[in-house]
Amino acid sequence: WTLCGTPEYLAPEIILSKGYNKAVDWWALGVLVYEMAAGYPPFFADQPIQIYEKIVSGKVRFPSHFGSDLKDLLRNLLQVDLTKRYGNLKAGVNDIKNQKWFASTDWIAIFQKKIEAPFIPRCKGPGDTSNFDDYEEEALRISSTEKCAKEFAEF
């Protein structure tokens, strides 16, 4: 199994090098919903190893403005035991879609693209990156030795 992804969004089973399936995506949905509602992810720290420890512990703190329906949804998506995680149960995605926090969501209208997005970013054209943060580019480091020349000879 490969450890790949944004540390804050990794499901416990990935961190623990267990086999994993689509349940990791439902975990990531929980992290995304939490971050969109709070403005920060449920598990954060200065170092990735600290983030991983928090994720594996399964302890989630909720801001005071989170309502009971949102907290219930997040507890079920950010469930360390993937056999109890919403989206991975017998009813599949319907456990999520039928949860009270989504009560006013018209899933059919969304599927049929009849719902207008609440926010549409302005885009000046292809390649417009004005909606993204600027980051300082890191210099490309080129090794003075070719350690894998044989392996990539025909690459």
Q: Are 72 and 100 in contact (CB under 8 A)?
A: yes
> Does the structure show a pLDDT above 70 at 33?
yes
Considering only CA atoms, which of 44, 100, 41, 107 is closest in space to residue 73?
100
pTM, two decimals, is 0.80
For residue 139, the 8-state DSSP code is: P
Q: What is the pLDDT of residue 142?
A: 83
> Does the structure show a pLDDT above 60 at 1?
no
The rounded distance, in Å, linking the Cα atoms of 69 and 106 is: 17
Whole-number Cα distances in Å, 49 to 24, 59, 63: 19, 16, 24
The rounded distance, in Å, linking the Cα atoms of 83 and 89 is: 7
Architecture category of domain 7-106 in CATH: Orthogonal Bundle (1.10)
Q: What is the pLDDT of residue 152?
A: 79
Q: What is the pLDDT of residues 68-90, one digit of tens each?
A: 999 999 999 999 999 999 999 99
